[in-house]
């Protein structure tokens, strides 16, 4: 735990809310300042372009990005296909030029993130850390303007499609550890006054706490809920079991980061009395999908070019989900070209009743991982933040051996330091309480029969388990 985290952990809840609000004020300016309103209007103006107009728009933006990368980004300036790609761009064939580029793996980006950053004298880049679906920590760099462009797309094509806005009061259930896992007294939420947001812990949802969560939400009176699909559903499922219903319907529930099953959607809608809208995005800002009123997930062509490929990185057609390989069109500061997202989806060749020509995803397949079950019955998922900031860690796999014993399988980059080992143990215990943790160095991770990486593996098997809620971390 770093100094900032230690200070936060020992601060009274009301002051923690003040700290979150101060951070929220700075974050709000970065995301929603400057030209953000104009960008939102531009996204809305493009929504009903025809398929041919989308192709022209995307081709023009792609050509500008590729030309920029080949001239200003070290990794792309060194490509053997550089001259050929430039020739294709001059000939007006940007999509053919794109196919000459190699695929970009997360490991290459992890090793040398600055090699993929454009040489921008005088432009300050912010950095975001993510491990996404693979447990591999990444450093994503972007200017404030690039960040605003992506957030404007989310505002126009996710929030507004659901009938809500960033200005509305909202409740968020995400992956930030705002309340120590050992704290079973509560409150299990903090207030970000700067963004009209009540941020609720995803690590404390269970049979004994669900009604306290519901009462806090009613008192806060949000217009909508937003967060991880599994965490929002876990709360709604427990409330449903206890026969609780929202006294006033919400405007919407927005889910992300995980697949939203039909039964999850039904439970959320029943408990909160409103429609549920799914979405897909990522810190890399390479692609975005939002759900329209007709219940279809639309890819945003002005956010990224998405290719669908098989396990060998080859373009493929068929009825099985395929890997999404994305080229982001918004971030010219660290262009990600043919980036392997690790996410699986299946496109649909259908015309949506909403009238938009934006591509449709028939199915979005999430990561393969088990639930971790704590002794009090709480379920915890998504330990994606464990390796963030640890430069000697390539990836981490969480294995639950028993209710009180865990193993962290770590693929190191060189020699795993004692400091990183301690950080991994501390971070897991912060999320799961006083459990035993063993760190093991491995050369590769356990995978499913079809080769998918399993970020979280449970060995509990037939162990009698307590009644459980679910949380996401």
Q: What is the 3-state secondary structure (H, E, C) of 112-177?
A: CHHHHCCCCCCCCCEEEEECCCCCCCEEEEECHHHHHHHHHHHHHHHHHHHCCCCCCCEEEECCCC
Pairing state between β 471-472 and 379-381: parallel
Higher per-residue confidence, 315 vs 81: 81
Within 8 A by CB and 6+ apart from 417, the residues are: 392
Total tally of structural domains belonging to the chain: 2
Asked whether residue 347 is assigned to any structural domain, the reply reads: yes
Answer yes or no: do 136 and 39 share one domain. Answer: yes
Tokens 């388990």, residue located = 465
- CB 353: neighbour CB atoms within 10 A? 11
Q: What is the mean pLDDT of residues 366-395?
A: 74
Asked whether residue 326 is assigned to any structural domain, the reply reads: yes
Q: Mean pLDDT over all residues of the chain?
A: 86
Confirm if 334 and 117 have CB atoms less than 8 A apart. yes
What is the per-residue pLDDT across 413-429, written as a single tens digit (0 to 9) for each?
Answer: 888 999 999 999 988 88
Answer yes or no: do 56 and 152 share one domain. Answer: yes
Answer yes or no: do 314 and 383 share one domain. Answer: no
Q: Percent of the chain having pLDDT more than 90?
A: 52
Domain that holds residue 411: 372-472
In the predicted model, is pLDDT for residue 349 greater than 50?
yes
In the predicted model, is pLDDT for residue 120 greater than 80?
no
Beta bridge partners of 306: 326
Beta bridge partners of 227: 173, 255
The whole-number pLDDT of residue 54 equals 97
DSSP per-residue letters across 188-224: -EEEEGGGTEEEE-SSS-STTTHHHHHHHHHHH--SE
Residue 440's pLDDT band (cuts 50, 70, 90) = very high
Q: How far is CA 53 from CA 39, 49, 302, in A?
A: 19, 6, 11
In the predicted model, is pLDDT for residue 137 greater than 80?
no
Answer yes or no: do 355 and 381 share one domain. Answer: no
What is the per-residue pLDDT across 23-65, written as a single tens digit (0 to 9) for each?
Answer: 888 888 888 999 999 999 999 999 999 999 999 999 999 999 9
Asked whether residue 420 is assigned to any structural domain, the reply reads: yes
In the predicted model, is pLDDT for residue 465 greater than 50?
no
Asked whether residue 15 is assigned to any structural domain, the reply reads: no
Answer yes or no: do 150 and 295 share one domain. Answer: yes
**Lowest mean per-residue pLDDT among 16-25, 116-125, 207-216, 295-304:** 116-125
Look up the CATH number of the domain holding residue 391. 3.30.300
Confirm if 181 and 430 have CB atoms less than 8 A apart. yes
Answer yes or no: do 121 and 43 share one domain. Answer: yes
Higher per-residue confidence, 233 vs 470: 233
Answer yes or no: do 73 and 128 share one domain. Answer: yes
Asked whether residue 200 is assigned to any structural domain, the reply reads: no
Residue 152's pLDDT band (cuts 50, 70, 90) = very high
pTM for the whole structure: 0.79
Chosen domain end from 365, 385, 412 = 365
Tokens 């985290």, residue located = 5
Asked whether residue 207 is assigned to any structural domain, the reply reads: no
d(CA 280, CA 341) in angstroms, rounded, equals 12
Q: What is the mean pLDDT of residues 257-274?
A: 91
Answer yes or no: do 348 and 416 share one domain. Answer: no
Asked whether residue 190 is assigned to any structural domain, the reply reads: no
Query: What is the gyration radius of the CA atoms in the chain, in angstroms?
Result: 22
Answer yes or no: do 352 and 401 share one domain. Answer: no
Chosen domain end from 346, 365, 384 = 365
Answer yes or no: do 402 and 422 share one domain. Answer: yes
Tokens 């996710």, residue located = 158
Answer yes or no: do 145 and 288 share one domain. Answer: yes
Residue 367's pLDDT band (cuts 50, 70, 90) = low
Chosen domain end from 336, 365, 394 = 365
Look up the CATH number of the domain holding residue 80. 3.40.50.12780
């Amino acid at each position: 735990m770093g100094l900032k985290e230690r200070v936060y952990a020992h601060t009274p809840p009301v002051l923690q809310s003040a700290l979150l609000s101060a951070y929220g004020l700075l974050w709000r300016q970065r995301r929603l300042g400057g030209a953000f309103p104009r960008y939102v209007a531009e996204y809305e103006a493009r929504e009903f372009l025809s398929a041919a107009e989308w192709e022209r728009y995307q081709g023009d933006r792609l050509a500008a990005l590729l030309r920029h990368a080949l001239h200003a980004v070290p990794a792309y300036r060194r490509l053997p296909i550089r001259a050929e790609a430039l020739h294709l761009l001059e000939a007006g064939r940007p999509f053919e030029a794109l196919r000459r580029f190699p695929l970009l793996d997360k490991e290459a980006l992890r090793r040398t993130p600055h090699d993929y950053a454009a040489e921008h004298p005088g432009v300050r880049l912010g950095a975001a850390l993510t491990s996404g679906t693979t447990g591999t920590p990444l450093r994503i760099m972007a200017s404030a303007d690039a960040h605003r462009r992506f957030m404007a797309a989310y505002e126009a094509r996710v929030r507004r499609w659901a009938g809500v806005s960033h200005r509305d009061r909202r409740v968020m259930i995400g992956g930030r550890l705002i309340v120590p896992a050992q704290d079973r007294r509560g409150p299990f939420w903090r207030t970000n006054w700067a963004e009209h947001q009540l941020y609720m812990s995803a690590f404390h949802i269970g049979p004994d706490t669900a009604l306290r969560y519901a009462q806090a939400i009613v008192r806060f009176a949000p217009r909508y809920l937003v967060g991880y699909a599994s965490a929002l559903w876990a709360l709604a499922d427990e409330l449903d079991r206890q026969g609780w219903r929202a006294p006033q319907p919400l405007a919407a529930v927005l889910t992300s980061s995980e697949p939203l099953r039909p039964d999850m959607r039904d439970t959320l809608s029943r408990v909160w009395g409103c429609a549920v809208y799914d979405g897909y995005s990522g810190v890399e800002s390479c692609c975005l999908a939002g759900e329209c009123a007709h219940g279809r997930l639309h890819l945003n062509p002005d956010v990224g070019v998405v290719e669908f490929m098989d396990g060998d990185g080859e373009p493929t057609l068929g009825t099985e989900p395929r890997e999404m390989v994305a080229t982001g069109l918004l971030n010219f500061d660290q262009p990600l070209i043919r980036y392997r997202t690790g996410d699986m989806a299946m496109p649909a060749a259908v015309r949506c009743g909403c009238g938009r020509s934006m591509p449709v995803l028939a199915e979005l397949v999430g990561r393969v991982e088990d639930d971790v079950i704590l002794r009090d019955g709480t379920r915890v998922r998504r330990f994606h933040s464990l390796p963030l900031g640890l430069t000697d860690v390539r990836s981490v796999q969480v294995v639950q051996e028993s209710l009180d014993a865990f193993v962290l399988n770590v693929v190191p980059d060189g020699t795993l330091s004692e400091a990183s080992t301690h950080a991994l143990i501390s971070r897991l215990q912060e999320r799961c309480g006083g459990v035993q943790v063993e760190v093991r160095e491995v050369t590769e991770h356990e995978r499913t029969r079809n080769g998918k990486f399993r970020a979280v593996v449970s060995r509990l098997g037939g162990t009698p388990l307590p009644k459980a809620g679910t949380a996401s971390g």
